[in-house]
Structure 1
Amino acid sequence: MRSSLRYSALVATVALFASCKSQLNPTVSNERYYQIDSALQADTGIVNYYAPYKAKLETEMNRVIGVSEVALTKDGSAESLVGNFFADALLWKGKQLDPEVQASFGTKGGIRSGLKAGNISVGNIFEMMPFENAVTVLTLSGKDMLRWADFMAKTGGQPVSGVKLEIRDGKVANFLVQGKPIDPNATYKLVTYDYLANGGDYVTCFDNVLARKDHTQRIRETLMEYVSELTKNGKHIQGKIDGRVRIAK
């Protein structure tokens, strides 16, 4: 009997809400706007909670890991100081992960900032590469290496290492990998990062790779390791334009 009564009550309640649904028209009254500025006092409880973590983070971000003798500028040119630094660091790590890696590749848009001359901190590297992109090694046919070169030519050059690319009228005029012309029947190993390997930045030349190896090593970690290794060996970052990507007149 009790279960029957509970069921009847439930049905009645559902019916009531169903009948009222179309009549409900909630409105907002007594609107108030709150000004958020320096006059708004911080919640000391919250501040005291996160302050130790903030201090620890700032200490790490301000930690100096190396020195650059020149400012590594980011200017959108076919070849840039920061692009060469970035690609050289990537090739250095790629060869550690796979000694058969011959070239490296990034994009101008993926490098978010340059580096100032002088002390280089962890925070500076985060500014350059704030994303969680990780190292990827691709095995490509000679034909797809030529497609890669075409992409770079059409986009006015991109950060690379291990190659020399000459562009004329938006087309490949000359392309060498480790000082040699591409053999269409050979295979090559290229180190880049997962975002580009997945087709990011409109990269379409990696849609038919022969093999792919994704690593957990993040690009940001690679850059920090590269700078730290230079420092360990008593060296500074040496930025220079060496003609690896050139637009012919």
Structure 2
Amino acid sequence: MRTIPRFVFFWLISLGILVMVQGCAWMGQLSGEGQSNPGEQTAGDDAGQHGAGLQGGGQLGVGQLGVGQLGSGEQGSGAEMRPATPSDPTILSVIEPYRDHYNNELSQPISILKAPARFAKPEGSLGNLVADALRYRAAEELRKYVHIGVIDEGSFRLHLDEGPITLGEMLEFMPYENHLTILELPGSSVKQLADEIAALGGGPISGMRFQIRDDRATALLVDAEPIEEPQRYLVATSSWIANGGGPFTALHNPISREDLTMVAIRDLYIDYLRDRDPLEPTTDGRIR
């Protein structure tokens, strides 16, 4: 039985806080209606200065609260900021227990990195980590071998430093609500994908090894074997990349596609790190 994804849990908490705050403010406006004189500053004039929101480091503090601030929304889509509500001791007393619980959850460490993880060209330890995690989870979900994992560096917002990694940092690391997608590609498309990665100088890839020569992939191997044109290959990526959001046109016309909508990319990485605590990010020469 599947559980509710973590981002939905935090989104519901925040939405509940927002509803309570807006409700209290609405009741306050009703009770005070008709009492202010023209030209006087009302509580509503201070909107934007107080409320509850997500601050740096994934902490819920005083500021504006909007669904978009929690990373809700697929990559590439804008999120509307909701108007803030007036500060009031009664409202803040209602919010405080939820804010403390929320911040406590976000500050919990999920893993410890034994070395910094960085994106780099042609290959970086963080690129290897995120691509390996995609391929591993896809194989686990499908219960079959998945040949390749690939994603774009632009899908992420942070490097990961050595030491404890918290849930709040992971919300910042992957702020988009994309899900895991598996594509079936012919050998020709896999070769094209390798060339596109080579033209970028390298990137996050798993299950594939090659050398870059004149911006093209040479000595290409998948599962330690040369590419065979008739063979079909399973490629794990994000829904954003599969929908054409990244630089990989080789993925645009797959033989088949399977969207695992209940496997959020962010949760996938949280689970991967939790299962490998501690974790030492490394490079292994998969792209040279």
TM-score, length-scaled by structure 1: 0.78
Residue 78 (str. 1) matches residue 138 (str. 2): no
Structure 2 unaligned residues grouped into runs of 5+? 1-38, 51-85
Distance in 2 (alpha carbons) for counterparts of 1:178 and 1:46 = 58
Q: Which amino acid aligns with 2:238?
A: Y
Residue 242 (str. 1) matches residue 284 (str. 2): yes
2:165 is matched with which residue? 120
Aligned with 1:93 (options 123, 126, 137): 137
* Moved segments of 4+, more than 6 Å: 32-38
Matches within 5 A, 1:18-29: none
> Which shifted more, 48-57 or 236-245?
48-57
2:70 is matched with which residue? none
Matches within 5 A, 1:101-140: 101-140=146-185
Q: Which amino acid aligns with 1:81?
A: S
Q: Which amino acid aligns with 1:224?
A: I
Alpha-carbon displacement from aligned partner over 1:96-141 (angstroms, at most 9, x marks no partner): 0122211100111112211111111111221211111100011111
Distance in 2 (alpha carbons) for counterparts of 1:67 and 1:184 = 42
Q: Which amino acid aligns with 1:147?
A: Q
Distance 1:49 1:173, change over 3 A: same
C-alpha displacement at 1:36, in angstroms? 7.1
1:196 is matched with which residue? 241
1:222 is matched with which residue? 268
Q: Which amino acid aligns with 1:167?
A: I
Percent identical residues: 29
Distance in 1 (alpha carbons) for counterparts of 2:248 and 2:101 = 39
Larger radius of gyration: 1
Structure 1 unaligned residues grouped into runs of 5+? 1-29
Q: Which amino acid aligns with 2:281?
A: G
Q: Which amino acid aligns with 1:245?
A: I
Matches within 5 A, 1:175-214: 175-214=220-259
